[in-house]
Amino acid sequence: MSTPERPVSSNFIRTIITEDLESGKRDQVVTRFPPEPNGYLHIGHAKSFSLNFGLAEDFGGCCHLRFDDTNPLKENDEFVEAIKADVRWLGFDWGEHLHFASDYFDQFYLWAVQLIKAGKAYVDSQTAEQMRENRGTLTKPGVDSPYRDRSREENLELLEKMKNGDFPDGAHILRAKIDMSSPNMNLRDPAMYRILHAHHHRCGDQWCIYPMYDFAHGQGDSIEGVTYSICTLEFEDHRPLYDWFIQELGIFAPQQIEFARLNLSYTVMSKRKLLQLVNDKHVSGWDDPRMPTLVGMRRRGYPPEAIRTFCERIGVGRGASWIDLSVLEECVREQLNQTAFRRQAVLDPIKVTIANYPADKVEELDAPNHPQQPDMGIRKLPFSHELYIERNDFMEDPPKKFFRLAPGREVRLRNGYIIKCEEVIKDENGEVVELKCSADLDTLGKNPVGRKVKGIIHWVSAEQAKEVEVRLYDRLFNQENPDKGENYLEALNPESMQTTTALIEPELLAAEPGTTFQFERVGYFTVDSEDSQRGKPVFNRTVTLRDTWAKLK
């Protein structure tokens, strides 16, 4: 097995693997991503599986996708397929290595029997409340169960009856016999199997006892020959139990390595809290573009390449830290700046009449699809006697460094002529409703002689422009750490989604769902994949052109 030849970002896990391969401790790299199919993946999961798949790829190994489907009450095929789609979307492939914990239920049961016969497991008949009371605390040792010294024969008989469905839920539980006085709470006779009469999404009603995660996880790794079980730091205290099961069973031993999970500002990533956001209708669903779920980010228009860049950029360490959401947003901007076609759209229009341009003439102007990438081609922009520009691109009494349109001032129309504001028309309330302008018709594609015009603004032709719905998405929370207060819901941003109407270039009506454009001088916008109809797109703001939150800190 060779170490990576291409340059990659160094981290402590990569160093461990490199040293293991060079010393001969390991001769291959097998990692795994083991999600529970009880919800949708979020950006924190993306960091995890990008690391696992990336390490396997860099070292010429393989990464398994294994679903931890040991709790039938919360798991279903919908989540399985959604997780597979998310992993593929980010560009990873598990090949033939698609597995489920339920693939190994028969073997897990045989190992449970083995541990009973070895005197390392027993059936406990205490109530859940009694077990909690007897477990002890961090400063007080636990108390042995009165059933801890049951005979092997009795334990085997009870386990068999549990498996056969002879007992109701909660009547008994199978526990490992380790040490009720251990300072590590996870070693205080942890549960291995519980009775659960529930329909399993793959096994149907075959089983009415199900293994606990701590019992199934390491053994699943061992069966598959996983060499590195890479997980987040909350599992560090579980590692002694992970190793204990493997050692007592005498099976292949993977190495568990922990790293710091992703903490992202202005975000919550607790499954419980995300589920509450969905169930309480604070968002429209798991795929709401404000959610940190990958399906939500995909709908919003985040490119998968940007998420992979983000995961690489933030690095891998053992120290807990917070990553500002702006880092992710900047990765999105960098990627879309390279790939997004440019278009013009006006979100808050004010009418402009070009007095010296024929009222019956429509001219088609050439506009590049991308100003820095000529190979992306050009498009035609209709130009006419009446236009719309953004209201904030005009001021009656502008400050010194305002280089856009004002009475008596000139500005260049993007990809068009230089115009000058000659007259301001107001309604009865004193609001500006129209600007009378003149165009220098000798400035198309060239600068005027003898004067310098600094400002450039975007526009659309009034007659040809089309109306579309635009959703202006922002951060779901307006506090950097929503969990800091007593109730994270109090930190919800009431302006996280605002709906408006925009006037767009006519050809944008045919844009396909999922396509992203830069609305020049406005931001990046993606055609919504759920609510758009043919000829009637809905545009989601993916990200602004620059970080609008930096100035608020």
Q: What is the pLDDT of residues 6-42, one digit of tens each?
A: 345 678 999 999 999 999 999 999 999 999 999 999 9
Tell me if 431 sits within 8 A of 351, measured CB to CB: no
Residue 2: predicted pLDDT: 42
Q: How far apart are CA 302 and CA 294, in angstroms?
A: 9
Integer-rounded Cα radius of gyration of the chain: 31
Which residues of the chain carry a pLDDT beneath 70? 1-9, 550-553
Q: Are strands 98-100 and 62-67 parallel, antiparallel or unpaired?
A: parallel
Residue 321: predicted pLDDT: 81
**CATH fold for domain 12-261:** Rossmann fold (3.40.50)
Residue 109: predicted pLDDT: 98
Helical (H) or strand (E) element with 191: strand 191-195
Q: How far apart are CA 263 and CA 321, in angstroms?
A: 7
Q: How far apart are CA 468 and CA 104, in angstroms?
A: 52
Catalytic residue among 271, 351, 404, 420: 271
Strand order in the sheet with 209-211: 121-124, 173-176, 191-195, 209-211
Helical (H) or strand (E) element with 519: strand 516-519
Task: Output the 3-class SS for 219-263.
Answer: HHHHHHCCCEEEEEHHHHHHHHHHHHHHHHHCCCCCEEEEECCCE
Q: How far apart are CA 92 and CA 84, in angstroms?
A: 10
36 a catalytic residue = yes
Cβ neighbours for 53, distance < 8 A, ≥ 6 positions apart: 31, 33, 63, 87, 92
Q: Tell me yes or no: is domain 345-458 CATH 2.40.240.10.
A: yes
Partners of 390 in beta bridges:
349
Dig out the tokens for 417 from the structure.
């002529």
Residue 342: predicted pLDDT: 98
Residue 9: predicted pLDDT: 65
Q: What is the pTM of this model?
A: 0.92
CA 103 from centroid of its chain's CA atoms: 28
Cβ neighbours for 164, distance < 8 A, ≥ 6 positions apart: 208
Cβ neighbours for 469, distance < 8 A, ≥ 6 positions apart: 499, 500, 501, 502, 538, 539
For residue 425, give the 3-state DSSP assignment. Answer: strand
Q: In the chain, where are the structural domains located?
A: 12-261, 271-341+468-552, 345-458
Q: Is there a common fold for 12-261 and 271-341+468-552?
A: no
261 a catalytic residue = yes
Residue 485: predicted pLDDT: 78
Residue 5: predicted pLDDT: 44
Catalytic residue among 261, 351, 391, 420: 261
Superfamily of domain 271-341+468-552: Ribosomal Protein L25; Chain P (2.40.240.10)
Tell me if 43 sits within 8 A of 294, measured CB to CB: yes
Residue 449: predicted pLDDT: 86
